[in-house]
């Protein structure tokens, strides 16, 4: 699904946000991208939805070589991905139903398909009972569920989430990540960039750690920090 080979991203002349990163993610995987602030997590996700391009190296996503994708093809490519952000990005003047339906309208889906698909994804995220609510009438966790429903309604093969629990309390965060996990179990590849130690440790999924733009760890069933760092080194 994703193949990065020796990818470097420079912002401006010299700032290196990612350095020589190689990463392969197969279809159906669930991956956490972790690391301190400024480590390059968002930059890595932006590469995957072609918001940024690699200064060096190759980026392939779902069979596309993103270095060579013409700009006119980018909007269509992005519409086929599910993207979820920390600040939800909902349209404030539209209801829950309309926020989700909007993602289908822009792809030209028929009203009939919209009427079938929207209730289905709202059911999946546990919001079937609030289709007429406006974003400001919902809690943070509920708003994030709407954003996830909107990202899912086009059946994307790949869901990218940048700090999806950043503004939420611990219990709500865990609920959101469990929802992402449930989506993954149904077959969608899921990549989550996060600072949130608790959920990463709890989920025991693949963890890719970045530090100052370098990929420093890739554990199949990892914790936010590797075990060795959890305790003080033994002294003799």
CB atoms under 10 Å from CB of 198, counted, come to 14
Cβ contact 173:165 at 8 Å: yes
In the list Mg ion, ligand ATP, none, the entry touching 39 (Cβ below 5 to 8 angstroms by class) is: ligand ATP
Kindly state whether residue 194 participates in binding Mg ion, applying the rule CB under 5 A: no
Beta-sheet strands, E only, within 12-92: 15-25, 30-34, 56-61, 64-65, 82-85
Q: Which of 19, 23, 31, 41 binds ligand ATP (CB under 6 A)?
A: 41
Return the residue nearest Mg ion (CB atom): 42
Least distance (Å) from ligand ATP to the CB of residue 82? 19
**Residue window 29-68: x/- pattern of binding to Mg ion, with contact defined by CB under 5 A:** ------------xx--------------------------
Per CB under 5 A, 165 contacts Mg ion:
no
Pairwise CA distance, residues 104 & 41, whole Å: 28
- Non-local (6+) Cβ contacts of 32 within 8 A are 192, 193, 194, 200, 203, 205, 206, 207, 208, 222
Q: Minimum CB separation from ligand ATP for residue 171, in Å?
A: 22
Binding site for ligand ATP (CB under 6 A): 11-12, 15, 17, 35, 37-43, 195
């Amino acid at each position: 699904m994703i193949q990065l080979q020796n990818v470097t991203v420079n912002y401006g002349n010299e700032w290196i946000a990612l350095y020589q990163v190689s990463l392969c993610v197969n279809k159906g995987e669930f991956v956490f991208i972790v690391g301190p602030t400024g480590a390059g997590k968002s930059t890595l996700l932006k590469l995957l939805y072609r918001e940024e391009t690699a200064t060096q190296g190759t980026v392939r996503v779902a069979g596309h070589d993103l270095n060579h994708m013409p700009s006119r093809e980018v909007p269509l490519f992005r519409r086929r991905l599910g993207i979820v952000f920390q600040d939800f990005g909902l349209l404030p003047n539209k209801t829950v139903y309309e926020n989700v339906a909007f993602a289908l309208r822009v792809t030209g889906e028929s009203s009939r398909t919209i009427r079938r698909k929207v209730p289905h994804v709202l059911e999946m995220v546990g919001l079937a009972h609030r289709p007429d609510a406006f974003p400001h009438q919902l809690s943070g966790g509920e708003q994030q569920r709407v954003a996830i429903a909107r990202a899912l309604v086009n059946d994307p093969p790949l869901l990218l989430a940048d700090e999806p629990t950043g503004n939420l309390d611990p219990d709500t965060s865990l609920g959101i990540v469990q929802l992402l996990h449930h989506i993954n179990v149904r077959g969608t590849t899921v990549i989550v960039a996060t600072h949130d130690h608790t959920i990463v440790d709890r989920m025991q999924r693949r963890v890719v750690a970045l530090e100052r733009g370098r990929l420093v760890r890739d554990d199949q069933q990892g914790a936010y920090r590797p075990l060795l760092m959890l305790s003080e080194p033994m002294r003799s």
